[in-house]
A and B are shown apart, each in its own frame.
Chain A
């Protein structure tokens, strides 16, 4: 699977309150949440992006709250993928669980400029910078995480387990 989009750059430690401010958490509706995505960093962010565009950020992306509304808002806003140097752990889990593609690449995070045209090959983890004619290799995810990706998220993964009758055995 490949995706092509323009890069929108953010810095380090982009927290969940910036991704989706808590004042909008009185709904679970993805399209409603999407309207306010990144609002406190860039008021017009959702007007600027097109379907398939990509967020590129620094280290510790998604730090703060456990709100799944954060990756949901990003996905529903039309962002096809997040590329960052590193992620906060709950955001990392949540992204795989809900099926928001994320990639870790220090090189891509440092070299991609605002509005660069980026193509991502998810199966190989290859990030092509069409604008700069460069290519970066994203870090490989552990097998366990790849298994969740293959189930298209935790819902599929748990569904499979329930079908097999695997439950808590304390």
Chain B
């Protein structure tokens, strides 16, 4: 039987000509990733394993992005531990304040992950790199430790869901709307243990930044990964940042899929996930009036340059509504600098928004925009669980940057087409 794209990458990395869904294999790793929350735990486990040196100094990536620039003493200690480990082990790809960005925006931008790679990261949104045609998945800290020690990890070869994308996006519809729509359709457990493989003529109409947002949230449906085939857009993106070679894998025509879903972009409207689950989605045309207290535009899901541009387009010459705190966080230093060059930062500040240095901060209720009880926020992040951004009685509505920016202007969840 034929293999899916994911299965082919796994087979290639465990020295087999073929693998089957359900099989357990030990897979070689091209990148092992950790951040300031998960790396300190991994370091403890690494030493408990009896390891001393990492398997390859060039293949470990540590990014201090979650509670940085440090929000408190405990966070500073976590970063210190990670920083000292990186120095001691000679880890080349260590990103501290000043170089760092939100990890899943940073790694592709630096060319550290390319098509055909296998990546594990001690962060659930490691699945983002599927946008590049890589197999990447989130794991815990002990797995990160094992990966750093051995350069391999155990993996159960996943079954797959095929998502056939057709049509073209309407104005102000983005990859975020597609993935929220999909999660709403299959549920937060709809793809548990499985890979989600995107295909079809419609993917030509998705930009790389659309694809990063989509793959990023595969985990919100329980998926092991969410992967796109490599096309001209992927190749152009990788050429511009080339530091290593890539390999292109394609799903076999007779690959087996558990389920096939078609999404017609022509019919897709801006989509919102209501509290307190990413699968509690609604089409923007079917929601009533929801007044808001805060807007956050950023995160590993939507902190890239296109996200900033669309927010800038909507906020240009406008003011955020009275009483709506609007926090904008470009995901990396490069995105931040590009916003300055294009005059987008000025638009944000003139509109009455604040702009922060890269950090995951508010997305997980860390810092830089915590919600009080009863407050409501529209954010471009990826999770709206109870208490995710602050008080357990606060509410998080997940949306695209276009919806978030439009909502900042009117003070309620707003269709950007009405602005």
Contacts and interface: CB of A to CB of B under 8 A. Distances in A.
A110 interface: no
Interface stretch (A2-10, A25-33, A44-52, A114-122): A25-33
B24 A89 contact: no
Nearest to A169: B28
B383 interface: yes
A68 interface: yes
Contacts of B156: 142, 144
Nearest to B81: A28
Interface string B18-57: 0000001000111000000110110011001111000110
A135 interface: no
Given A18-B387, A90-B124, A28 B151 contact: no
Contacts of B74: 26-27
B232 interface: no
| Interface-central residue, A90, A144, A161, by most chain B CB under 10 Å | A90
Interface residues of B, number: 62
B161 to A, nearest CB: 14
Nearest to A170: B28
A158 B124 contact: no
A67 B138 CA distance: 10
B124 to A, nearest CB: 4
Interface in B60-100: 66-67, 71-72, 74-75, 78
Given A98-B142, A162-B51, A88 B44 contact: no
A29 B64 CA distance: 19
Contacts of A155: 45, 48-49, 142, 145
A110 B274 CA distance: 28
**Residue with the greatest number of chain B CB neighbours at <10 A, chosen from A15, A22, A23, A154:** A22
Contacts of A72: 41
A38 to B, nearest CB: 11
A97 interface: yes
A69 interface: yes
A70 to B, nearest CB: 9
Contact of A166 (B140, B150, B154): B150
A131 interface: no
Interface residues on A, range: 35 or more
A168 interface: yes
Contacts of A64: 124, 383, 385
Contact of B142 (A27, A86, A97, A162): A97
Given A26-B74, A144-B24, A93 B143 contact: yes
Which of A154, A166, A167 has the most chain B CB atoms inside 10 A of its CB?
A154
Contact of A26 (B13, B72, B277): B72
B325 interface: no
B131 to A, nearest CB: 19
Interface stretch (B186-194, B254-262, B305-313): B186-194
Given A26-B67, A27-B74, A66-B38, A60 B192 contact: yes
B222 A88 contact: yes
A97 B45 CA distance: 10
B139 interface: yes
Contact of B140 (A68, A86, A157): A68
B388 to A, nearest CB: 5
A154 B385 contact: no
Contact of A68 (B38, B51, B71): B38
Contacts of A90: 124, 138-140, 219
A40 B385 CA distance: 10
Contacts of B124: 64-66, 90
20 contacts: A17-B387, A17-B388, A28-B78, A60-B188, A60-B189, A63-B188, A65-B124, A66-B38, A67-B140, A72-B41, A86-B192, A88-B222, A89-B222, A89-B224, A142-B24, A154-B142, A155-B48, A155-B145, A159-B50, A168-B56
Going nearest first, the 8 A-B pairs with the smallest beta carbon separation are: A168-B151, A26-B74, A94-B140, A144-B24, A22-B364, A60-B189, A68-B140, A97-B142
Interface of A: 13, 15, 17-18, 21-23, 25-28, 40-41, 59-60, 63-69, 72, 86, 88-90, 93-94, 97-98, 142, 144, 148, 153-155, 157-159, 161-163, 166-170
Given A26-B71, A26-B78, A63-B188, 11 more contacts: A17-B383, A22-B364, A60-B188, A66-B122, A66-B138, A67-B140, A69-B37, A90-B138, A90-B139, A90-B140, A168-B29
